Amino acid sequence: MRIARSGTEMQNGGMASEDEAHSMNKKGRKKEWCEQERQKLIVSIPMSHQDLRNLLDYLDREGAPQCNHTLKETIGFLKKRGLDVDRVVAWLHENGGYCDCEVIYNIDEKFGKFVGREKA
């Protein structure tokens, strides 16, 4: 039986070198960190996931007015739904949504997958 310096066993029954063990450990830590960051993003959303999805669908709808570089459409949607406009707008700004078209591009890019919006 051959024993590697690190003593870490590979899945194929062989032994991993120290470099391979370090690389596997590093990948595991990176995966764990990515999952933690994903969870932070998800819990940061200041409205229900359904409300965020509906907002993105609303702004991205057929026949929506052209962006006038304000959050006019977004704020109108939030008020109509009785959502906390100040809190949501602050969150949108923190995540790159300074106007309606940036909400569509930046917020949808960053959060759309968490609320069920699939890219075409």
| pLDDT tens digits for range 60-117 | 999 999 999 999 999 999 999 999 999 999 999 999 999 999 999 999 999 998 899 9
**From CA 64, how far away is CA 73, in angstroms rounded?**
9
pLDDT greater than 50 at residue 6: no
Where exactly are the structural domains of the chain? 1-44, 46-115
Identity of the residue numbered 44: S
pLDDT greater than 90 at residue 119: no
CB 85 within 8 A of CB 46: no
pLDDT greater than 50 at residue 35: yes
Q: pTM (2 decimals)?
A: 0.71
Burial class of 37 by CB neighbour count within 10 A (0 to 12, 13 to 18, 19+): exposed
- pLDDT value, residue 42: 82
> Average pLDDT of the chain?
85
pLDDT greater than 90 at residue 38: no
- pLDDT value, residue 30: 82
Q: How confident is the model at residue 22 (pLDDT cuts 50, 70, 90)?
A: low
